[in-house]
């Protein structure tokens, strides 16, 4: 069952999403070479709780940290440890915020220091691919339109789309129906309806789309060790388009 959220539920999700957005803004100034992933993780917890939310990734299916922090060729579900970030790293920070029984989910890829122009372009275009996916969303559009928009934009630049992981419905649960693949066919699949809330989250690789799971049974990495980038927003489907819930 895909739930349609009430105005009250949407309001709470917006509050959760705003905390998610704010903490992403605040965390940026701490992302200096030499900072450990664990330190970033504990800062996120402190900042989220200061805003009245909780980090619901913690303990989710046994996940051991507050945020998923994935470096370079790690695609998603990186577990923050004692590694320190350094110049040239791509740092993906993905976390959920729970407030008053509702969830929000947001990811950004941060560039630490400077990277080659081609890597910078890759990160910018991965972010743009999220907006390409969002642009087609409105009441009456099809789920396949989203994946088609994301993947055709990514392929235009020679990037690949990770297929093993998808976006998802979101609400009182972090992961609700439907799955939202980052590939698809135009005009195919489920019809979107006003009041649905979705997490849209393209994961693109600079090299091959193939990925594997690390021995920790969480972290997903690229087979060819190429860079991966990831952006995510929680959105509301509206009559004429969409509204970003993880925003200002
Ligand atoms: N935030 C992730 C997503 O985008 C889910 C993380 S699950 C966790 O769907 F257990 F790793 F936290
Ligand atoms: Co997420
Ligand atoms: Co998500």
Which atom of ligand 1 lies closest to the CA of 168? 9
Per-residue pLDDT tens over the stretch 60-94: 999 999 999 999 999 999 999 999 999 999 999 99
Q: What is the architecture of the domain spanning 7-244?
A: Alpha-Beta Complex (3.90)
**Nearest ligand 1 atom, CA 61:** 10
CB of residue 61 inside a 6 A radius of ligand 1: yes
Angle between helical axes of 37-50 and 7-27 (0-180°, round to 10): 140
* Ligand number nearest to the C-alpha of 66: 1
Looking from the CA of 146 toward its CB, the CA atoms found within 13 Å total: 31
How far apart are alpha carbons 99 and 40 in whole angstroms?
21
Q: What digits encode the pLDDT tens for the residues 91-119?
A: 999 999 999 999 999 999 999 999 999 99
For the residues 9-16, what does the mean pLDDT come to? 98
The structural domains of the chain, with segments of one domain joined by +, span 7-244
Q: Is 58 in the pocket of ligand 1 (CB under 6 A)?
A: no
Confidence of residue 13 (pLDDT cuts 50, 70, 90): very high
Ligand 1 pocket test, candidate residues 174, 179, 181, most atoms within 8 A of CB? 174
Task: Dump pLDDT digits (tens) for 207-240.
Answer: 999 999 999 999 999 999 999 999 999 999 999 9
pLDDT at 1 over 90: no
β strands within the chain, DSSP E: 54-55, 68-71, 74-76, 90-99, 102-111, 160-161, 167-169, 176-180, 197-200, 203-205, 211-213, 220-222, 228-230, 233-237, 242-244
pTM of the model: 0.98
- Cα–Cα distance measured from residue 20 to residue 81, given in angstroms and rounded to the nearest whole number: 22
Atom of ligand 1 nearest to the CA of 94: 1
* Residue 215 pLDDT: 98
pLDDT at 129: 99
Nearest CA to ligand 1 atom 8: 57
The residue-averaged pLDDT of 124-153 equals 99
């Amino acid at each position: 069952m895909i739930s349609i959220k009430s105005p009250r539920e949407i309001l709470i999700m917006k509050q959760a999403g705003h905390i998610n957005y704010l903490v992403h803004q605040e965390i940026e100034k701490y992302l200096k070479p030499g900072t450990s992933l664990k330190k970033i993780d504990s800062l996120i917890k402190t900042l989220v709780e200061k805003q009245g939310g909780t980090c619901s990734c913690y303990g989710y299916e046994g996940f051991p940290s507050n945020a998923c922090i994935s470096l370079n060729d790690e695609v998603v579900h990186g577990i923050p440890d004692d590694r320190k970030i350094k110049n040239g790293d791509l740092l993906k920070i993905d976390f959920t915020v729970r407030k008053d029984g509702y969830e929000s989910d947001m990811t950004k890829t941060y560039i630490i220091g400077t990277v080659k122009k081609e890597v910078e372009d890759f990160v910018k275009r991965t972010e743009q691919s999220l907006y390409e996916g969002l642009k087609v969303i409105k009441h009456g559009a099809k789920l396949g339109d989203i994946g088609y928009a994301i993947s055709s934009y990514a392929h235009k630049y020679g990037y690949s789309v990770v297929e093993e992981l998808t976006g998802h419905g979101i609400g009182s649960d972090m992961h609700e129906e439907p799955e939202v693949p980052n590939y698809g066919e135009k005009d195919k699949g489920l019809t979107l309806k006003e009041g649905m809330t979705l997490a849209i989250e393209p994961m693109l690789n600079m090299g091959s789309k193939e990925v594997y799971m690390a021995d920790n049974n969480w972290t997903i990495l690229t087979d060819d060790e190429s860079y991966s980038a990831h952006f995510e927003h929680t959105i509301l489907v509206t009559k004429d388009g969409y509204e970003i819930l993880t925003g200002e």
